[in-house]
Structure 1
């Protein structure tokens, strides 16, 4: 076989190799490097076995952002505010409880019959009274008074106890006068924990202390207000709100109740941005909230040559109460009771910019922008072109 024949045979083999490489690239174009799933793949995640989208039996729900969806999410967020969950509250008043310490004074007008150890000038007359030791309210809810016996005080005001003691002394003491004073409040307290100057139990008064009063009396938050979360535990209910929201909205600065546990936590909020955005990263934001439009702005917006304007997605583990009732009733849930939801925004529509301003990003959301279909096509063309040029170069070198 001559040398030119060998070259022709080598060129033929290289040509066949180029064709095979091109076919392989065509069949495996979905395996090209990418920053995440395509728009179609994400949409397919919300399909059932019958091919229907956003049905209640889908594993992951893909929900198009609309005024109705955003309104439902806003209503749910509103329902989680302190004022809606606990009410504004009322002052507890001076009600005696177990463990409280009372200072009780009893006087009678002259001529004194029962009490004569102390003299108090009251105008023309001299009242005489007894030095009664301070009384701690026991578990039975009573205190013991000389010449009176056990007096029930639990759940009563000092004025009510005064009238009870005076009524029992009538006929035994001469014009008895009684003063009951609460000197140690153990029953009406609020516990403050976490990122405050000093964790402590704060006694409540009839003035009606509010959330910010309690935090201030404990030394205030040790972390920036915008990165601090306030949690209230009352009975079997637990709720959280950014401290910044409580400061800015007076309605959320509710009156605390006895037994409340306030926990001040350093909890900066953040979301993760991935895909065809100018900067993929974890982005912190203030507790006051962040809109989707602001989130896109903080990561530099979409990449013009790469992003699919119809493929802006927010991945979230959503509370069932924030979803449509038909979807929430039968939706599959995580162990924590959340529903995997993907919110989709079509940025090719003008109204989407208004929707992006109204939709609120939540802590731990994942913002993902998929690649445009032309990007994968361009990758395929570049791969085939590179393979073809490599074959041509080798063929030329053989020839």
Structure 2
């Protein structure tokens, strides 16, 4: 009767034996895989995530080509009879011989390329510049100004290249549109050009949207693994968000809680320590479980349960090599030996008031 009553005693969860039997017998119709951690071969492989973006991706036009939305800076240098420059723009004084070798310069306000790919240049009118380099635009303007200005020299530069830019936002110091100087920048280069991140590196998740495809990278992985520091192309949209990694603690641990990773990575040994270890009054150190959803080779999710017996000395070495993942569930099973003890405690709480009352009555008599 005493043992039968143990089944109804409140507890913080199943025992280690109950967890193992439920996983093996597939109770609940959720196929789960049980992995017993006994040596290094049983540890989960820390495989790199599959590439998100296609390797044969064709980027937009290269850096030197002008397109709609670009902002151009144009400077004009003239000698002799000038069309634009005045005395204030002279860079060489006139000679006393009567010959005027004076060079006058004129810097125009910025020209933004229209949606149709043109700019409106004084005394020339609309000029088609879409798809041309700055050198080609200089030659074109020089030819159009011939007959209107004496030996004009034109310099053209792109001050804001929308066709060679990205949008970056979130936890960076200078969010907004960013021009790629060389069109060869990596993800870490772009973040640095935007002033760097403002939050802690371990908590930052970088999201990249490229032509309908979304990729996610942890900032700590980008800095630690060169293969994660991918190249950025024009028109990419980059967002840095604060997304701390965490794991949940359940069962008969020292404390049940959701705990954030204190650093970029976390081992199982560190996770157990943060959870307060196994509760000495209720927990079973032989029943340490980590619940995780893995992705199989065919892309199907596989619920997996890792079991570690921390009464064995080798388990502490394995726990140092076991890497926790974001959203893992750490469960400490209830000790089977504690169930009769809990029943005795409940019975004591029930009968203690009666015993106390009897003593009071006997004392009054």
The two structures have a TM-score, normalised by structure 1, of 0.65
Q: Which residue of 1 aligns with 2:23?
A: 46
Distance apart, 1:341 and its partner CA: 3.9
Q: Which residue of 1 aligns with 2:316?
A: 353
Contact 1:35 1:276 in 2 (8 A): yes
1:199 aligned onto 2:171: no
Distance apart, 1:229 and its partner CA: 3.1
Deviation track 1:3-35 (CA, whole Å, cap 9, x = no partner) reads xxxxxxxxxxxxxxxxxxxx2x43332221211
1:95 aligned onto 2:84: no
Distance apart, 1:138 and its partner CA: 2.1
1:370 aligned onto 2:333: yes
Higher fraction of helix = 1
Contact 1:244 1:287 in 2 (8 A): no
Alignment of 1:240-251 (within 5 A): 240-249=216-225
C-alpha distance in structure 1 between counterparts of 2:314 and 2:135, whole Å: 64
C-alpha distance in structure 2 between counterparts of 1:268 and 1:228, whole Å: 7
C-alpha distance in structure 2 between counterparts of 1:117 and 1:267, whole Å: 56
Contact 1:148 1:168 in 2 (8 A): no
Give 1:63's match in structure 2, choosing from 20, 34, 58.
34
Q: Which residue of 1 aligns with 2:297?
A: 325
Q: Which residue of 2 aligns with 1:35?
A: 12
3-state SS, counterpart of residue 360 of structure 1: coil
3-state SS, counterpart of residue 282 of structure 1: strand
Q: Decide whether aligned partners of structure 1 residues 128 and 388 sit closer, same or farther in structure 2, where only a CA change above 3 A counts.
A: closer
The alignment covers a number of residue pairs equal to: 342
1:139 aligned onto 2:115: yes
Distance apart, 1:252 and its partner CA: 4.3
C-alpha distance in structure 2 between counterparts of 1:107 and 1:117, whole Å: 9
Deviation track 1:343-388 (CA, whole Å, cap 9, x = no partner) reads 3334355554343223322233221110232232444576789999
Give 1:228's match in structure 2, choosing from 187, 197, 204.
204
Q: Decide whether aligned partners of structure 1 residues 62 and 307 sit closer, same or farther in structure 2, where only a CA change above 3 A counts.
A: farther
Distance apart, 1:204 and its partner CA: 2.4
Contact 1:100 1:187 in 2 (8 A): yes
Give 1:297's match in structure 2, choosing from 263, 268, 273.
273
Provide structure 1 residue ranges, at least 5 long, that are not aligned to the other structure.
1-22, 332-338
C-alpha distance in structure 2 between counterparts of 1:214 and 1:352, whole Å: 43
Deviation track 1:118-171 (CA, whole Å, cap 9, x = no partner) reads 5887xx9959899696543222334466669643423x4323444566688999
Contact 2:167 2:178 in 1 (8 A): yes
Q: Decide whether aligned partners of structure 1 residues 194 and 390 sit closer, same or farther in structure 2, where only a CA change above 3 A counts.
A: closer
Contact 1:63 1:344 in 2 (8 A): yes
Q: Decide whether aligned partners of structure 1 residues 116 and 197 sit closer, same or farther in structure 2, where only a CA change above 3 A counts.
A: closer
C-alpha distance in structure 2 between counterparts of 1:384 and 1:26, whole Å: 13
Q: What CA RMSD, in Å, does the superposition of the two structures yield over aligned residues?
A: 4.8
Contact 1:229 1:287 in 2 (8 A): no
Provide structure 2 residue ranges, at least 5 long, that are not aligned to the other structure.
93-98
3-state SS, counterpart of residue 277 of structure 1: coil
Distance apart, 1:99 and its partner CA: 0.6
3-state SS, counterpart of residue 69 of structure 2: coil
